[in-house]
Structure 1
Amino acid sequence: MVRIRTSAYDEQREAILSHAARLFAERGYPATSMNQVAEAAGLSKSTLYHYYRDKYTLLVNIVEGHVSKLELLVDEVAGENLTAEQRLRELIRRFVEEYSGAQHAHRVLTEDVRFLEEADRERVVVKERRLVAGFAQAIQQLRPELDAASLSKPLTMLLFGMINWMFTWLRPDGGLNHEAMASVVADLFLGGVPAVRPPALVPLSTSS
């Protein structure tokens, strides 16, 4: 007989992932046990195994789930009728908004992805490359001449450097929230992009 999953079942799975992400973010993946996850979720260990067979499965679901949500945001923005600047601003806004509610999952993605097995890690890397490509395309649309100098991707990585590590210093109870910072990041980046000049290419040395 096929067991039908209910909405309550899916909600419990998501709640477990949330608790596990917090513990992995605070303690590190290797130092967190299934007993600790069960305790944090208010479940017995046997009940926890009903939802996830082991700690590694939790890690895969946290990391892949988080990056898949970001991937969906890129696809949604790409499907909207926006100018180049509007597209980039909207990407920044939606990413920062997503990070605001997924700080633990994001920390797990940045710090614990190395514990994934090769096939799982490669699947996540492919998704991350799609995220980079989505931003790079928006930058290329904004300043096409920079792509000829192969700067679209480096500029994208600089932008990710601003938003990806915001969770390390931005406090929810501080004077600035994520919504305000998304606008600041967009202004700072878009204000600087027009000033970028393609560097002179360094000729490759030839051996005699």
Structure 2
Amino acid sequence: MPRGRSASYDDQRTLILERAAALFAKHGYPSTSMNQVAQACELSKATLYHYYRDKYSLLVSIADGHVSRLAALVDDEATLALDSEARLRHLIHRIVEEYAGAQDAHRVLTEDVRFLEPQDRERVLGKERRVVAGFADAVAQVRPGAPGAPLAKPLTMLLFGMVNWMFTWMKPDGALSHAAMGPIVADLFLGGIGKVQLPPAAVPQAAPEP
């Protein structure tokens, strides 16, 4: 019987995708070579080709993998028994935290999806539409007495406008983590600026009395 792939094989593929995503995010997909990816992974070019046949297959795996995780997150949320506002808050918290470990992949998804072949691009964009539809449904549920349908998607896109570009200014070692930013985004979106609360961990502590 054929032998299955080892765990180290899958771990190596994951590492390659992470390093390639970092290079694509920094330099852009067209300006990144397989030599650069191999060097970043400390692999020979021949070994790199053992895992991925070309640079395009890396792009497809990064973009499709990232958006698939977001779509799975939305699908999972739909199974939870939460009221409308709690559901939307939980969605926002989870997607912000998902971006915490996927900033490079998210930049690739937003900036390099145009380099995908039509069939691959349509598949990735179809999953993006599923994510948007899931959030739009949650937004509409929060506004049961209002004409939700016409505004649900525009409001959702405004929400994503806050979330999608956090990677451009948030620092990994900054005062606010992605876990802290999730509730802030939810407060701002659902209640307005007056409802935003500073997370306890970010509140400056008074110096102890001598």
The TM-score, its normalising length taken from structure 2, stands at 0.89
Equivalent residues in 2 for 1:11-30, closer than 5 Å: 11-30=11-30
SS at structure 2 position matched to 1:171 = coil
The one-letter code of the counterpart of 1:151 is L
CA distance in 1, matches of 2:123, 2:3: 29
Q: How far 1:147 sits from its partner (Å)?
A: 2.0
Equivalent residues in 2 for 1:60-79, closer than 5 Å: 60-79=60-79
CA-to-aligned-CA distance 1:134-169 (integer Å, 9 cap, x gap): 001111111132324x00000000000000000000
> For residue 136 of structure 1, what is the aligned residue in structure 2?
136
CA distance in 2, matches of 1:131, 1:21: 21
CA distance in 1, matches of 2:20, 2:118: 22
* Count of residues in Structure 1 that have an aligned counterpart in Structure 2: 191
Unpaired segments ≥5 residues, structure 1 = 193-208
Q: Does 1:147 align with 2:151?
A: no
Give the CA RMSD over aligned residues: 1.0
Equivalent residues in 2 for 1:167-186, closer than 5 Å: 167-186=167-186
CA-to-aligned-CA distance 1:14-56 (integer Å, 9 cap, x gap): 0000000000000100000000000100100000000000000
CA-to-aligned-CA distance 1:61-84 (integer Å, 9 cap, x gap): 000000000011101111000011
Q: How far 1:3 sits from its partner (Å)?
A: 4.7
> For residue 187 of structure 2, what is the aligned residue in structure 1?
187
> For residue 107 of structure 2, what is the aligned residue in structure 1?
107
CA distance in 2, matches of 1:77, 1:6: 32
CA distance in 1, matches of 2:176, 2:168: 14
CA-to-aligned-CA distance 1:80-131 (integer Å, 9 cap, x gap): 0001111111111111101000100000000000000100000001100000
The one-letter code of the counterpart of 1:44 is S
The one-letter code of the counterpart of 1:10 is D
CA distance in 1, matches of 2:2, 2:123: 29
SS at structure 2 position matched to 1:151 = helix
SS at structure 2 position matched to 1:71 = helix
The one-letter code of the counterpart of 2:147 is L
